[in-house]
Chains A and B, each alone.
Chain A
Amino acid sequence: MLLYTIRRLLWIVPVLFVASVVTFWLMHAAPGSPWNREGRQLDPALVASLNERFALDQPLPVQYLKWLGGVLQGDFGTSFTSGEVPVSQNPFHIETTNVAEVLGPAFLPSLTLLGLAFTLAVIVGVGLGVVAAWNHNRLPDHVATGITLLGMVGPPFLIAVLLQIAFDTHSIHNPGILPVRGWGTPAHWVLPTIALAGLPMAMIARFTRGSMLEVIGEAYVRTAHSKGLPPRRVALVHVLRNALIPVVAILGPVLAVVITSSIVIERVFAIPGVGGLYLLAITSRDYGVIMSMTLVYTVAVAGLNLLVDLLYGVIDPRVRQATVAA
């Protein structure tokens, strides 16, 4: 088990390496530079001196190694623009900030949103799945399957926009109950959380239902029923415990979906999180922020997948034995 864990942990290294090389190459191969945003035309001599100052004139492999060396020492590079500090109109003065300083404060809103949406998705998703399976082919099943289908086919950004329409504060028909923009009070958290939780909720519900139906058909469940146990106890103790094991396995992909769709959700609701900064950095070629965020997203997705796989081994003895044997 320990060996397996170490092997899986080491596997993240090549993934990160390829991801960072691809990002670095794509972003630098693309036309445009941090200096010519918003149609600013700078003197070529000035651009050359700026490039020299920030080492952008060196060959790409050299720039990459420099960046990698910095990251390994905890220095994530320089940001040429940040969401907070407006870029000076004076072209001779380029404001730079440490990437960590730019991104640091943005993590709190993003993580709050991710945590809330994921928790909501798990609770509602498992709940819907259990209700649907336990009432197989009866009304609650059809209702739950209908809600699930809505979540599956409703794009997260569309759900977000429709929620904004429904709760729009500018409309006369709708006195504002919940704010549709920004991130100040917990009331601001409600709509983004719902919009972000839709798709993962549907994924979890669909999978829980299938897994429950499979377990319900097993012999030990019939035994539990014939012992005269109350149905609720059979459902929640005997069936659910085994049915949830495969559900844990899809939490990795589900988390990946939550993390990537949060970029769009943050943009729609104007949340001051890392997703918004990432989109801003991409359009303004802010290399330091782009590279760091790609790393953060890749580490998060790969790491969470690993965590879920390991957790799966811990809770399912059959998997544990198989991995030890392998």
Chain B
Amino acid sequence: MTTVELAGGRRVAPAPRAFQGAFAALWAHPRGRIGLVLVAIMALLAALGPELAPWSFSELDLASQRANRHQPLLPLENVAHPLGTDILSRDMLSRVLYGIRVSLLVAIIAQVVIVAIGLPIGAIAGWFGGRVETLLMRATDVVATFPQLVFIIMFTVAFYDTPFQRMLDGLLVVMLAIGLLSWVVVARLVRAEVLSLKHRSYVEGARAIGLPGMAILRRHLMPNLMGSVVVAVSAGVPAAILTEATLSFLGLGIQPPSPSLGSLIWTGTETLSQFPHLVIIPAVPLVLLLVAFTMLGDGLRDVLDPRLRH
């Protein structure tokens, strides 16, 4: 962003950049660094999952199960299945790797939906004010009062067994449901930020040289909003991971045979007494994902939040 020159040669300072030196600051933040490294590892596992996985997530290995007196293999029992197999003789490592991929994918796309709804609503409400603002913020208040999980469950069930629901193994509905009920935080945050930035001198300057409102919003306000939006999004990721896992645990999320960490845990509970490892193996990456994103979120908040920075 270049400086804006006003009539009479006065210059208005350019808007401060939200991300200047953010990465270095995040690396210096103890929890932020752990979070960053863990997230990078999990993202790598998710991206390379199919290459790393020795089997496909739905492939049966009946021969090795027969050799094991029709029992699922325990972890480390057989080199071909490092984390053992499930009741149907499918490779646990491959299923867990696929589950990590599902968790990350759902959480990130849900955040895209959240920002796509929340950002314009908050920005328009804050920028235009008046009746538009009242209407938009009242709508936001209504959605905020809904018991989230109840409505997300209902949304996924409403489309149960329809072609729409079968898209992406049932994950599209989950992503949309989470997004449609969780944009409220982003909308409120963006509105508050726009309200506080609206009367800064660089915005008034841009207005004075005759830039149209939309252009100011896009070119001068958006870059400065991004810091808080990133903080809100990073806090939303663990929440979305948890919601997807809960839905799949209830049998409402992913469609079998595709596995998700939540559905793996639910399947594991059916044989909980004999084979507790079928619950514990998918639980470990789920908790790791939640820890990683919670720590990264804490770090990003400390580094990027304008209220904490000054």
Provide the bound-state CA to CA distance between A259 and B268, in Å.
25
A26 at interface by CB-CB < 8 Å: yes
Known: A161-B279, A165-B279. A26 touches B145 (CB 8 A): no
Which of B91-99, B153-161, B211-219 sits within the interface? B153-161
**Which residues of A have CB within 8 Å of B159?**
30
**Which residues of B have CB within 8 Å of A300?**
147
Indicate if the CB atoms of B265 and A294 lie closer than 8 Å: no
Q: Which B residues between 149 and 174 are near A, CB-CB below 8 angstroms? A: 149-151, 153-155, 157-162
B269 at interface by CB-CB < 8 Å: yes
Q: Taking CB as reference atom, which chain B residue is nearest A294?
A: B150
Provide the bound-state CA to CA distance between A291 and B262, in Å.
27
A175 at interface by CB-CB < 8 Å: no
**Which residues of A have CB within 8 Å of B154?**
23, 26-27, 282, 290, 294
Annotate A8-32 by CB proximity to B: 1 below 8 A, 0 otherwise: 0001101100110011001101111
Indicate if the CB atoms of A282 and B273 lie closer than 8 Å: no
Q: Taking CB as reference atom, which chain B residue is nearest A30?
A: B158
Q: Is the interface of B mostly helix, strand, loop or mixed?
A: helix
Provide the bound-state CA to CA distance between A18 and B287, in Å.
36
**Which residues of A have CB within 8 Å of B138?**
14
8 Å CB contact of B162 from A31, A164, A168, A279 = A31
Interface size class of A (residues with CB under 8 A): 35 or more
Indicate if the CB atoms of A164 and B142 lie closer than 8 Å: no
Q: Which A residues between 163 and 206 are near B, CB-CB below 8 angstroms? A: 164-165, 168, 170-171
Shortest Cβ gap from B6 to chain A (Å)? 38
Indicate if the CB atoms of B157 and A282 lie closer than 8 Å: yes
Binding site for A on B (CB under 8 A): 138, 141-142, 145-151, 153-155, 157-162, 238, 242, 245-246, 249-250, 262, 265, 268-269, 272-273, 276, 279-280, 283, 286-287, 290-291, 294
Closest 7 CB pairs of A and B: A260-B149, A170-B273, A26-B158, A30-B158, A153-B290, A301-B147, A297-B147
Given contact pairs A23-B154, A260-B150, A294-B150, a sample of 8 additional A-B residue pairs in the complex whose CB atoms are under 8 Å apart: A18-B142, A22-B151, A31-B160, A32-B161, A155-B242, A165-B272, A171-B273, A260-B149
